[in-house]
Structure formats: C-alpha cells, structure tokens
C-alpha cells in the first residue's frame, strides 16, 4: 500500500526547526529513529515525523536512544560548522550525516491524504518545503531494511523513489 510521503534531507537548521516547532521526539529507537506524532495533518489526520539514520547506523557509545535528539542538539550548538564537522556525541565524534539522513512525514493511521497536502502541512510547520514527495511503499522498504539487517538506507531509497519538490509552487 502506497503512503503519501514527503522527505527532507537533514541539516542542522532542520533539526533546530524540529526542536522549535515539535519539541522533543515522542519516541526513540535503538536503531536511531526519532518519531513525533502530530494531529495537524490534512482534515485532522495524525502525521508521523520520522528521522531516518543512514545504513548501518549504530548508537553512539554512551548515548541512550531517548537522549539522542537532545545530545545531537547540544553537539550542533557547540559546532562551528554544524552541517560539516563532527561533534561530540556520547563517547564518539559524529557528523550529523552519520546520525540521520532524512526526515520523512506521512499520515500515520492510513488517513486519506494527497502527497501535495502532506507537503503543504510539513512546509507550514517547518517553514521550508521538503526535498521530495510522492507515495512510498513502507512495507517494501521495511522488508529491504530487515532483509539486509539494517545495512540499507531507507532515506536514500525514499529520495530515489520520490519526485523532487519545487522551491515555490
């Protein structure tokens, strides 16, 4: 089943916007995902906002999954070039791209929506348009991720399968 989806490539400004507009994640996973559920989608639909880590992600030593988002925010605040330089994250130095690749936004409970509606809501919340949008096959992506024991980039697969979003409609 295809799910209307939009994605953003992760950068420091995006992480800061998530913090400012959505606050701390509702849920966090040892595989690096950070998740928010917000009932501000089309026609009141709940949207899931999910940060996806790169293929082969491992939690930094000394970082609890529930503290990862806050630890990354602190590391970005201390970095002179937060999008380019590695920062201290637990017992390691990591660049932001080694923690998350994309933010995906989609209706959580199968609520009807068009990709353009998800794009409009996400852009209104974050103050910028996503990089790509369309319909994603979450079951297929999940099977690929599981079949490769986590050595698969869901974020890169989403970017490859979705259409680029124009800056201004």
Is the per-residue pLDDT at 150 higher than 70? no
Tell me the domain boundaries of the chain: 2-164
The pTM of the full predicted model, rounded to 2 decimals, is 0.93
Split at pLDDT 50, 70, 90, the class of 161 is very high
Rounded CA separation 97/88 (Å): 14
Residue 127 pairs in a beta bridge with none
* CA atoms of 113 and 146, how far apart (whole Å): 27
Decide if 22 contacts 112 (C-beta within 8 A): no
Cα–Cα distance, 90 to 106 (Å, whole number): 31
Question: pLDDT tens for residues 27-57?
Answer: 998 889 999 999 988 889 999 999 999 999 9
Contact assessment for residue 19 and residue 122, using Cβ atoms and an 8 Å cutoff:
no
CA distance 29 to 52: 10
């Amino acid at each position: 089943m295809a799910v209307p989806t939009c994605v953003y490539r992760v950068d420091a400004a995006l992480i800061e916007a998530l913090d400012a507009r959505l606050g701390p994640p509702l849920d966090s996973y040892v595989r690096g995902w950070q998740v928010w559920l917000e009932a501000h989608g089309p026609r009141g639909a709940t949207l899931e906002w999910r940060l996806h880590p790169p293929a082969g992600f491992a939690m930094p030593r000394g970082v609890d999954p529930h503290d990862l988002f806050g630890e990354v925010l602190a590391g970005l605040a201390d970095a002179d070039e937060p999008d380019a330089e590695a920062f201290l994250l637990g017992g390691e130095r990591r660049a932001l791209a080694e923690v998350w690749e994309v933010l995906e936004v989609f209706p959580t409970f199968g609520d009807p929506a068009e990709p353009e509606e998800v794009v409009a809501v996400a852009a209104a919340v974050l103050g910028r348009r996503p990089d790509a949008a369309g319909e994603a096959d979450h079951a297929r992506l999940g099977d690929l991720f599981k079949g490769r024991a986590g050595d698969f980039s869901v974020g890169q697969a989403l970017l490859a399968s979705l259409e680029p979003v124009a800056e201004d409609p």
